Amino acid sequence: MTAINQKQVLKQLQKLSPQQIQMIKLLELPTMQLEQRVKQEIEENPVLEEEQSQEEANEDEGMPKEVSMDEYMREAETPAYKSYVNNHSRDDKERQTVLFEGHSMHDYLTEQLSYRDMPSDLAGIALYIIGNIDEDGYMRLDLQSIADDIAFNYGQEIAIPELEKGLKIVQSLEPPGVGARDLRECLILQLERKAPQSDVQKLALKILQNYFEEFTKKHFEKIMARLGIGEEQFRDVVDEIQRLSPKPGNLYTEGGNIALPYIVPDFILDENDGELSLRLNSANVPELKINRRYADVIKRMTSGSAIPTQEDKEAFQFVKSKIDSAKWFISAIKQRQDTLLRTMQAIVDYQHDYFISGDASKLRPMILKDIAGRTGLDVSTISRVVSSKFVQTSFGVIPLKQLFSEAMQTDRGEEVSSYEIKKILTDCVAHEDKRNPLTDEALMEMLNNMGYHIARRTVGKYREMLNIPVARLRKEL
């Protein structure tokens, strides 16, 4: 039997307090989420409240003057935080948010279906199919899966031919191509709806029906040889197909049936005669202060001569804890602002030439460690500041992560950013002969001749990051 022994072990552990964890989370939040977090804290903590506007302040002029924090909280264990933080600049203007709601594509399809004269069971099948169409206008589920879903949810056995009838009805609705199960069917449905059809449209329909795979792989010579047509006629066919919509659902989306991403920049960078001015975009974040009524409660409790009851002590501890929490939250918001501005200013100084010109080729190689060294902050803190943050410049809204890139050396020993390599790669592809596009091997040789030593697989990686297809798919007539 193993003996039970006791021994002392000296360990050094790093533990984060709950407040430190909350501070880290506040640092990661972008502007829109910070606004929601501040409003949530105001709802949960009755001591916190928004700063009044000038008009509201004038109305309350006759009320007793607000008691300062130092007058009612003088305990040694309470840190002397500031009880007010200003989240607005004097130059900020109030902007009214306009909300609107539009009809979704499914609403249009359902409305059109209600005008059709058909049996109720067939209308129910068509309505169920409409509910399975995605925002692009495609019906991604196969008919057997839909039949299984109806049997499971409603206990009805629907034959595949009946489902095909319902699908045909949906595909006859506007916009043309809606309800297609793949891109080929979508394009064919759009061409079939055009009447009368020209010779070019008939030929385009024939190519989509019989040579779709060859067409997508751009085996144009093979298609022209099989159909016995010339290059000029085939070019007209390609133009006709390219005028079709690959996502018909987007044509009928006004308000949208999904929320489109809306970016609110966290920083605003102004440029005036070569001078850069940086400020936080905190227009929507409420200004915070501590409610004076709770200050009066604490003052009365501490200045009273009577012996406090147990209920008074509990009330005092509750109000004091809420005030401490409010003081910490206001201080954390202020610390977040200082950290964000300190980090972004270091980035602006490091990439000064880029922010002046907006030319991506002037981006210097920069990693998180470079900014950490300039600010004196930890690399993990810089990473949290950069994450999901955007800066508004004179040439657009830029994600901060886009400003960081690895360094590459040229023949002259100079360090260049990978963005410079990508820009050169984009220019090479833009000016290539579309009849004979450049392969990754040819692009590598061109870059090497310019003094940029880069491997072919790196060229392929950058090409994919730039959403540039392979040479065969870039081929044009």
Question: SS3 sequence, the chain?
Answer: CCCCCCCCCCCCCCCCCHHHHHHHHHHHCCHHHHHHHHHHHHHHCCCEEECCCHHHHHHCCCCCCCCCHHHHCCCCCCCCCCCCECCCCCCCCCCCCCCCCCCCHHHHHHHHHHCCCCCHHHHHHHHHHHHCECCCCEECCCHHHHHHHHHHHHCCCCCHHHHHHHHHHHHCCCCCCCCECCHHHHHHHHHHCCCCCCHHHHHHHHHHHHCHHHHHCCCHHHHHHHHCCCHHHHHHHHHHHHCCCCCHHHHHCCCCCCCCCCCCCCEEEEEECCEEEEEECCCCCCCEEECHHHHHHHHHHHHCCCCCCHHHHHHHHHHHHHHHHHHHHHHHHHHHHHHHHHHHHHHHHHCHHHHHHCCHHHCCCECHHHHHHHHCCCHHHHHHHHCCCEEEECCEEEEHHHHCECEEEECCCCEEEHHHHHHHHHHHHHCCCCCCCCCHHHHHHHHHHCCECCCHHHHHHHHHHCCCCCHHHHCCC
Please tell me whether residues 285 and 329 are part of one structural domain. yes
Mark which of 351, 379, 396 sits at the end of a domain.
Answer: 396
pLDDT at position 190, please? 92
Tell me if 6 is assigned to some domain: no
Among all chains, which residue has been given the structure tokens 């060859």?
A: 214
Please tell me whether residues 412 and 392 are part of one structural domain. no
Tell me if 462 is assigned to some domain: yes
Distance CA 423, CA 429 (A): 10
pLDDT at position 414, please? 67
Tokens of 68: 């300062």
Please tell me whether residues 237 and 132 are part of one structural domain. yes
**pTM for the predicted model, two decimal places:** 0.55
Cβ-based neighbours of 96, under 8 Å, separated by 6 or more: none
Tell me if 216 is assigned to some domain: yes
Domain containing residue 449: 405-474
Please tell me whether residues 114 and 247 are part of one structural domain. yes
Tokens of 340: 């964000």
Q: Bridge-partner residues for 398, per DSSP?
A: 391
Please tell me whether residues 463 and 441 are part of one structural domain. yes
Mark which of 343, 376, 396 sits at the end of a domain.
Answer: 396
Among all chains, which residue has been given the structure tokens 């007209």?
A: 236
Distance CA 452, CA 211 (A): 41
pLDDT at position 102, please? 56
Tell me if 7 is assigned to some domain: no
Tell how far CA 473 is from the center of its chain: 29
The CA–CA distances, whole Å, from 278 to 283, 344, 392, 417 equal 15, 8, 10, 24
pLDDT at position 88, please? 52
Tell me if 300 is assigned to some domain: yes
pLDDT at position 408, please? 72
Mark which of 376, 396, 416 sits at the end of a domain.
Answer: 396
- The domain that holds 464 is classified in CATH as 1.10.10.60
Please tell me whether residues 389 and 413 are part of one structural domain. no
Distance CA 389, CA 361 (A): 22
Please tell me whether residues 184 and 234 are part of one structural domain. yes
Please tell me whether residues 27 and 68 are part of one structural domain. yes
pLDDT at position 14, please? 62
Whether 146 and 163 have beta carbons less than 8 Å apart is answered as: yes
Distance CA 350, CA 353 (A): 8
The number of distinct structural domains making up the chain is 3
Segments in the chain below pLDDT 70: 1-2, 13-19, 52-103, 251-261, 283-284, 295, 299, 301-308, 312, 407, 409, 411-415, 477
